Amino acid sequence: MAPMVAAIPGASDFAWGAAAGVAGVTGLVLFYHALATTRIGVTAPVTAVFSTVTPVVFGIWDGERPEAVAWGGIALALVAIVLIAVPAGEAQDVSTGGIRAVAYGAVAGVAFGLFGVLISQTSDTSGIWPLVGSRGASVAVLAIVVLATRRPVVPAESAGLAIAAGSLDMVANVLFLFAVRQELLSLVAMIMAMYPVSTIGLARIVLHERIGLIQLGGLVLGAIGVSLIVLA
């Protein structure tokens, strides 16, 4: 598909894509591990907040100067992270689920944010070739992990789900690349940050995971926070 979109770009576009791939696969591994071992209702929104704030921080470093409204949004997002981390269940969840979920979610969110930042540095004329470099780098990292641990990345019985998830992930990457070339990175990141709504909904329906009122308040504050960041 890439040759149909653009001619083969220069090495810099491949390099940016490869760096984005390393960041992206790091985020995915941590995120999926967190979904399997911690509270989904905590990990998903924390990841979303950090993946949204990271491009904003990059913009500041790159010379952007947010207005006071944007700083207010960042502050609300940080408060939202704390509220979301409060477990809805028993007190033991604070040590066994909540804290680890926040930690994994934060690191995964930063990695996802870096993917967006790095892939946005590719040229508009490179088509989706940077994603070829991205996927090549991510596959290489996973291969190294498999060789080092001598453990399969995905159990055989879950291969079908893994293929489906990988296909959807690639489609999402293509759409993100096209979107970030048409709109502001912060705006695209904010829209993507809305995915926890479906994740938490599925966790409630499929896994019967309870969501506390404090977490719901955190979700609301997070939504307001990222909205203020974009509207500034």
Mean predicted confidence (pLDDT) in 38-58: 79
Give the pLDDT of residue 91.
42
Is 87's pLDDT higher than 60?
A: no
Length of the chain: 232
pLDDT, one tens digit per residue, over 179-191 is 888 777 776 776 6
Q: What is the largest CA-CA distance in the chain?
A: 57
Q: For the purposes of burial, counting CB atoms within 10 Å of the CB of 41, is it exposed (0-12), middle (13-18) or buried (19 or more)?
A: buried
Count of CB atoms situated within 10 Å of the CB of 19: 20
Is pLDDT above 80 for 113?
Answer: yes
Give 152's pLDDT tier (boundaries 50, 70, 90): low
Q: What percent of the chain has pLDDT over 70?
A: 77
Question: How many other CB atoms sit within 10 Å of the CB of residue 208?
Answer: 7
What's the start-to-end Cα distance of the chain, in Å?
Answer: 37
pTM value > 0.75: no
Nearest to 126 by CA among 185, 180, 183: 180
| Greater model confidence, 62 or 6 | 62
CB 57 within 8 A of CB 120: no
